[in-house]
């Protein structure tokens, strides 16, 4: 039995897509690919993952279309429940997961949704126990600068000095207006290479799909759900399966 792999989507830049990607990658691995996952929401300023879960439960309760889809899915899903989401302030995240694992749970991957500045000492302490870090960011100047500064700090102040378990840190270009890397991203990649950093091959498009988490009425498909796999018809063009494949190759699960 191998230890669970700790993965964080982290950056100090707000609104980069951490909670969205944490949810979608966790859901895809759990519901589409059969891995066991747990998600730890460490953003006590808003606890987005918990909010998503509450929203998903509410939507499936009040919207008959989504209720039917949920019932149908769980009839054949080999696990009979959704993956666990736990909320904690950053300072308590390590003890929370330690206790969870000591109780005999053995997920394949534990995802951490981490936000906040590295000037808060609790953040480096939590980053120190991660195995892999993914830093989502758009190429927009201010956002990229902040995310690159964060990545650079983790690499130079933590990874190269042995202050963390992190084996690999990768940026992810998100909210892109193309589906493949464009010249701006290639230029940014060249800059990253000079810093000893890199980004994933897969980029995430700016798409309203990534915001679709279900409405109380009507039959609009759901993409970002903590209870269900992303709707099949919305997967096309999302680059999510490609992202998950690339992440699995890196984290080796």
Ligand X SMILES: Nc1ncnc2c1ncn2[C@@H]1O[C@H](COP(=O)(O)OP(=O)(O)OP(=O)(O)O)[C@@H](O)[C@H]1O
Nearest-CA neighbor of 197 among 133, 152, 246, 132? Answer: 152
Partner from Mg ion, ligand X, none contacting 141, C-beta within 5 to 8 A by type? none
**Residue number, 48 or 199, with CB nearest to Mg ion:** 48
In the range 1-20, which residues lie near Mg ion by CB under 5 A? Answer: 18-19
In the range 155-184, which residues lie near ligand X by CB under 6 A? Answer: 174-175
Partner from ligand X, Mg ion, none contacting 60, C-beta within 5 to 8 A by type? none
Which residues have C-beta within 8 Å of that of residue 175, sequence separation ≥ 6? Answer: 17, 138, 204, 205, 206
* DSSP SS3 for 103: coil
Number of residues that bind ligand X (CB under 6 A): 17
Phi, psi of 211, deg, nearest 5: -110, 0
**Piece of 59-67, 152-160, 184-192, 207-215 that binds ligand X (CB under 6 A):** 207-215
Number of residues that bind Mg ion (CB under 5 A): 3
Nearest-CA neighbor of 229 among 218, 241, 243, 247? Answer: 241
Q: Does 48 participate in binding Mg ion (rule CB under 5 A)?
A: yes
Q: Does 20 participate in binding ligand X (rule CB under 6 A)?
A: yes
Cα dist. 17→4, 20, 67, 97, 154 in Å? 24, 5, 27, 23, 19
Cα dist. 202→121, 134, 242 in Å? 32, 12, 6
Give the C-alpha separation, 137 to 135, whole Å: 6
Could you give the string, one character per residue 27-66, with x where binding to ligand X holds by CB under 6 A and - elsewhere?
A: ----------------x----x------------------
Which residues here bind Mg ion, judged by CB under 5 A?
Answer: 18-19, 48
Which residues here bind ligand X, judged by CB under 6 A?
Answer: 14-20, 43, 48, 115, 174-175, 204, 206-207, 210-211
């Amino acid at each position: 039995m191998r230890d669970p792999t700790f993965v964080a989507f982290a950056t100090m830049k707000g609104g980069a897509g951490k909670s969205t990607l944490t949810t979608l990658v966790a859901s895809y691995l759990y519901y589409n690919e059969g891995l066991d996952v747990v998600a730890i929401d460490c953003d006590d300023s808003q606890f987005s993952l918990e909010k998503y879960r509450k929203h998903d439960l509410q939507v499936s309760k009040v919207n008959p279309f989504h209720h039917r889809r949920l019932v149908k899915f769980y009839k054949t899903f080999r696990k009979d429940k959704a993956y666990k989401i736990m909320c904690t302030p950053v300072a308590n995240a390590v003890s929370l997961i330690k206790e969870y694992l000591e109780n005999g749970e053995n997920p394949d991957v534990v995802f951490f949704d981490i936000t906040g500045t590295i000037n808060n000492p609790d953040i480096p302490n939590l980053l120190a126990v991660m195995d892999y870090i993914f830093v989502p960011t758009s190429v927009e100047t201010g956002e990229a600068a902040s995310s690159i500064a964060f990545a650079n700090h983790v690499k130079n102040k933590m990874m190269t000095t042995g202050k963390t378990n992190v084996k690999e840190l990768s940026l992810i270009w998100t909210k892109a207006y193309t589906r493949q890397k464009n010249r701006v991203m290639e230029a940014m990649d060249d800059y990253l290479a000079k810093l000893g950093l890199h980004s994933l091959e897969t980029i995430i498009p700016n798409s309203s799909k990534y915001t679709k988490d279900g409405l109380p009425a009507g039959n609009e498909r759901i993409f970002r759900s903590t209870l269900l796999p992303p709707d099949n018809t919305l997967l096309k063009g999302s680059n999510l399966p490609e992202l998950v494949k690339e992440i699995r190759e890196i984290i080796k699960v």
